Amino acid sequence: MLTPRRRDLFLQILEETRRKYRFVVHGYVVMPEHFHLLVTEPEVGDPSVVMKVIKERFSRRLNRRRRRSSLAQRSLFEAPSEPFWQKRFYDFNVWSERKHREKLRYMHRNPVKRGLVERPEEWKWSSFRAYCFGEPGIVKVNCQEWLLRVKRRPASSLGDDGQSRPLIRKKRE
C-alpha cells in the first residue's frame, strides 16, 4: 500500500466489507506496509473471515489493475511476484474504555511515529479526522445501519455467576 491510490482502494474494500459482514469500525489506520483496525465482531462470519475477505479482495483488485497496465511490458523471464500479505494477523479483544482509547491513540499516532506526517490529522488514511473533526471518510466510523441481533452464547462461555467472562484472546496464525 505504498501509494495513495492503493490506500484509497484498501479503504474502499474495507467499507464494502464492513457493510456486507455488518461490523462497526471504531478506528483504522492504513500504513504503507500494514494496517490497524479496531472493529466489533462481525454479525456475519467471524474476524478471521473478515480479514481473509479484505485481504483477498484487495489482492485481486490490485492484481487485476497490475495485469491490465503491465501486460505488454512483462518479460518472459520475470520472476513471479511475492505474496502481498503475510499469512497471519494479530487480534486482541478490547473490554474496557481505557484499552479502547489506548488502541485508538496508538493507531492514530503511528504515521507520526514513523515520520510520515507531523500531526495525526495530516494522515488521510486514518479514522483520526472522523474523531477530531467529525469528517466523513470512505469508511464509516462508529456507524451501524442494521438492527443489532444478540447472538446466543453457549453456557460454557459464561462464568459461575452467569456473567460473561472478559476473555482477552491473543492469537497468531
Helix H, strand E, coil C: the string for 73-136 is: HCCCCCCCCCCCCCCCCEEECCCCHHHHHHHHHHHHHHHHHCCCCCCHHHCCCECHHHHHHCCC
Comparing C-alpha atoms, which of 95, 132, 136, 123 is closest to residue 36? 123
Give the pLDDT confidence score for residue 79 in this predicted structure.
Answer: 45
Length of the chain: 173
pLDDT tens digits for range 28-78: 999 988 899 999 999 988 888 999 999 999 988 887 766 555 555 554 444
The residue ranges of the chain whose pLDDT is under 50 are 75-80, 165-173
pTM of this structure:
0.73
Handedness of CA 158, 162, 164, 165 (dihedral sign): negative
pLDDT given for residue 1 in this prediction: 67
Name all domains of the chain by residue range, CATH numbers in brackets.
4-71+83-172 (3.30.70.1290)
Q: What is the reported pLDDT for 144? A: 75
Cα–Cα distance for residue pair 65/83, rounded to 1 Å: 16
- The whole-number pLDDT of residue 76 equals 44
**Element spanning 30, H or E:** strand 25-30
